[in-house]
Amino acid sequence: MKVYKFGGASVKTADGVRNLQLIVEDCIGPIFVIISAMGKTTNALEVVLENFMERRGVEAREALLIVEKFHRDLIAELFGEDVKIDSIESVFNSLYDILSTKETIKDMDYDMWYDKIISCGELLSTLIISEYLNSRGVSNRWIDVRECLITDLKHRDANVDMELSEVKFKNGVKGANISISQGFIGSDGNGTVTTLGREGSDYSAALVANFLDAESISIWKDVEGVLNADPRVFSDAVHIPELTYLDAIELAYSGAQIIHPKSIKPLQNKNIPLYVRPFADKAKAGSVIKDRIKDKIVIPILIIKQNQILLSIRPQDFSFVLEDRLCDVLNMFAEYGIKPNLIQSSAVNLSVAVDMSRLLERLISKLQLEGFRVVHNEDMELLTIRGYDKAVLDKYCMGEDVYLTQKTRRIIRVIRKAIH
Ligand code: ASP
Ligand code: MG
């Protein structure tokens, strides 16, 4: 068994879907294909959701029409004008039904509505692609991942029931040579849909690989493989052919958009190699992430995490923050689901960098209520450099735009004013 994962960028056009066919039909032996929502569908559905939650019915419908048109155009290109696919019709019907719900929309149910609406992106993409492959003679089984990936009800960040899901997947693929299924989504097993967090499809694919004891997993992307930096930001980025699981987890955690940070553990646990391969050229090897590699990585690796806010938190009463209040502070972060990306302390001050989040204002108010003075700087970025040398230090870690620096022998992390 092999697992392939295709991200939204790979299947955003009819040509992309045709290319997926070429890659999938080449594969010998059983294969499990995990697909994300097409193109920017997830973001587009988030616009629908925002309007829905704010009870702006007209705008919500308009936003949904954009999503609908995008998929209908793609279907027309793949199957011909005016072709209707029943399963696609029913996904759109259920979305329009949600928008005209008579239920009272409560703010506290935001995450539940999020999962209901946003999960439709993956349903649409996999239904279209499965149907297309079947129509081209590449027969496959569409698997409703909501029946296999069983989670708790922590909406938008659901925890997977590993044992139960493994059994369900093993049953689900019996007798199928090509299985097509959705990344990112799951369910509680009783009809309530959940999601695993943005960019969660990589994680889904890694889980499936683990459950099915896959020989390998390939993530098909619109890049050459893993690079030492984002080529859109750093023009001198170079390709890294081999990485260890540990390299990958550190990179992903620091914000490198190669793979979702949670994806490594299920693979490492079963020693399954992960290939990151260029979608545009299946002949190229890309990069491989595995247990042991031949050559250690000797070049500096630069990772930027954007949209950071730097909070500076100080107890009003001058108590020692590390000794007396650290737990309180971290508990408040956890309460709002805001994860610190970097923490640094002095005697009475705690600096914490976090992602921009809609709950941040509430967290700040809560901290103030609990007796902390909070100052924050917006428009920051977190730059992590692994294996730094003097040249990169001088180039990226100096100057007045750098607000905070954390350094070990191998890794330097700086919070600086965003310049990208
Ligand atoms: N479609 C989801 C997202 O854009 C999940 C994924 O692509 O991995 O976040
Ligand atoms: Mg994606």
CA 77 – ligand 2 centroid, Å: 22
205 and 61 within one domain:
yes
211 and 350 within one domain:
no
User: In angstroms, rounded to a whole number, what is the distance separating the alpha carbons of residues 137 and 25?
Assistant: 10
Q: What digits encode the pLDDT tens for the residues 158-173?
A: 999 999 999 999 999 9
144 and 6 within one domain:
yes
Calculate helix-pair angle for 41-53, 57-79, nearest 10 degrees: 160
Pocket test for ligand 1, best of 119, 194, 201 (most atoms within 8 A of CB): 201
Q: Kindly state if the Cβ of 39 falls inside 6 Å of ligand 1.
A: no
Q: Kindly state if the Cβ of 8 falls inside 6 Å of ligand 1.
A: yes
* Range 223-240 average pLDDT: 85
CA 120 – ligand 1 centroid, Å: 11
Q: Which residue has its alpha carbon closest to ligand 1 atom 2?
A: 199
212 and 326 within one domain:
no
Residue 211 covered by a domain: yes
Residue 420 banded pLDDT, cuts 50, 70, 90: low
Among the bound ligands, the one closest to the CA of 9 = 2
Whichever domain contains 398, its CATH number is 3.30.2130.10
Q: Kindly state if the Cβ of 37 falls inside 6 Å of ligand 1.
A: yes
Residue 153 covered by a domain: yes
For the chain, give the longest Cα–Cα distance. 72
Q: Where do we find the tokens 């705690």? A: 350
Q: Kindly state if the Cβ of 126 falls inside 6 Å of ligand 1.
A: no
308 and 212 within one domain:
no
Residue 277 covered by a domain: no
Q: What digits encode the pLDDT tens for the residues 327-363?
A: 889 999 999 999 999 999 887 889 999 999 889 999 9
- Pairing relation of β-strands 31-35 and 2-6? parallel
Pocket test for ligand 1, best of 41, 42, 45, 195 (most atoms within 8 A of CB): 42
Residue 75 covered by a domain: yes
Q: Kindly state if the Cβ of 315 falls inside 6 Å of ligand 1.
A: no
Q: Kindly state if the Cβ of 115 falls inside 6 Å of ligand 1.
A: no
Q: Which residues contact 76 (CB under 8 A, 6 or more apart)?
A: 82, 83
Torsion angles phi and psi, residue 264, rounded to 5? -75, -40
Q: Which of 221, 248, 282 is the last residue of a domain?
A: 221
User: In angstroms, rounded to a whole number, what is the distance separating the alpha carbons of residues 256 and 360?
Assistant: 23
Q: Kindly state if the Cβ of 10 falls inside 6 Å of ligand 1.
A: no
Q: What is the pLDDT of residue 233?
A: 81
Q: Of all atoms in ligand 1, which is nearest to the CA of residue 121? A: 1
CA 121 – ligand 1 centroid, Å: 9
81 and 215 within one domain:
yes
Give how far Cα 69 sits from Cα of 43, 58, 123, Å: 15, 16, 16
Pocket test for ligand 1, best of 124, 185, 199 (most atoms within 8 A of CB): 199
User: 129 is written with which tokens?
Assistant: 């692609």
Q: Where do we find the tokens 């097509």? A: 180
111 and 18 within one domain:
yes
pTM: 0.83
Q: Which domain holds residue 101?
A: 2-221
Give how far Cα 285 sits from Cα of 5, 25, 112, 169, Å: 16, 18, 40, 29
Residue 264 covered by a domain: no
The 3-class SS string of the chain reads CEEEEECHHHHCCHHHHHHHHHHHHCCCCCEEEEECCCCCHHHHHHHHHHHHHCCCHHHHHHHHHHHHHHHHHHHHHHHCCCCCCHHHHHHHHHHHHHHCCCCCCCHHHHHHHHHHHHCHHHHHHHHHHHHHHHHCCCCCEEECHHHCCEECCCCCCCCECHHHHHHHHHHHCCCCCEEEEECCEEECCCCCEEECCCCCHHHHHHHHHHHCCCCEEEEEECCCCCECCCCCCCCCCCECCEEEHHHHHHHHHHCCCCCCHHHHHHHHHHCCCEEEEECCCCCCCCEEEECCCCCCCCCCEEEEEEEEEEEEEEECCCCCHHHHHHHHHHHHHHHCCCCEEEEEECCCCEEEEEECCCCHHHHHHHHHHCCEEEEEEEEEEEEEEECCCHHHHHHHCCCCCEEEEEECCCEEEEEEECCC
Q: Which residue has its alpha carbon closest to ligand 1 atom 5?
A: 199
Q: Of all atoms in ligand 1, which is nearest to the CA of residue 203? A: 8
Mean pLDDT of the chain: 94
Residue 297 banded pLDDT, cuts 50, 70, 90: confident
Whichever domain contains 185, its CATH number is 3.40.1160.10
Q: What digits encode the pLDDT tens for the residues 270-295?
A: 999 999 999 999 999 999 999 999 88
38 and 163 within one domain:
yes
Residue 64 covered by a domain: yes
Q: Kindly state if the Cβ of 183 falls inside 6 Å of ligand 1.
A: yes
Adjacent-strand bridge partners of 310: 353, 377
Burial per residue of 66-76, b for 16 or more beta-carbon CB atoms within 10 angstroms, e otherwise? ebbebbbebbe
CB atoms within 10 A of CB 223: 21
Q: Which of 165, 190, 221 is the last residue of a domain?
A: 221
Looking at residue 288, its amino acid is V
CA 184 – ligand 2 centroid, Å: 9
CB 404 within 8 Å of CB 414: yes
Residue 230 covered by a domain: no
Q: Kindly state if the Cβ of 201 falls inside 6 Å of ligand 1.
A: yes
Among the bound ligands, the one closest to the CA of 34 = 1
Q: Which residue has its alpha carbon closest to ligand 1 atom 8?
A: 199
326 and 186 within one domain:
no
Residue 255 banded pLDDT, cuts 50, 70, 90: low
Q: What digits encode the pLDDT tens for the residues 15-56?
A: 999 999 999 998 988 999 999 999 999 999 999 999 999 999
147 and 9 within one domain:
yes
CA 11 – ligand 1 centroid, Å: 12
Q: Which of 190, 221, 252 is the last residue of a domain?
A: 221
* Range 360-373 average pLDDT: 95
Q: Which residues contact 226 (CB under 8 A, 6 or more apart)?
A: 239, 240, 243, 248, 251, 256, 258, 276, 286, 287, 289
Q: What digits encode the pLDDT tens for the residues 77-112?
A: 999 998 999 999 999 999 999 999 999 999 999 999
CA 9 – ligand 2 centroid, Å: 7
CA 201 – ligand 2 centroid, Å: 7
Q: What digits encode the pLDDT tens for the residues 123-151?
A: 999 999 999 999 999 999 999 999 999 99
Q: What digits encode the pLDDT tens for the residues 380-394?
A: 999 999 999 999 999
Residue 260 covered by a domain: no
213 and 361 within one domain:
no
* Range 189-217 average pLDDT: 97
Residue 222 banded pLDDT, cuts 50, 70, 90: confident
Q: What is the pLDDT of residue 339?
A: 92
Q: What is the pLDDT of residue 358?
A: 85
CA 37 – ligand 2 centroid, Å: 7
CA 182 – ligand 2 centroid, Å: 12
The structural domain count of the chain equals: 2
Cα 295 to chain centroid, rounded: 29
C-alpha angle 175-181-187 in degrees, rounded to nearest 5? 110
Adjacent-strand bridge partners of 185: 195
325 and 200 within one domain:
no
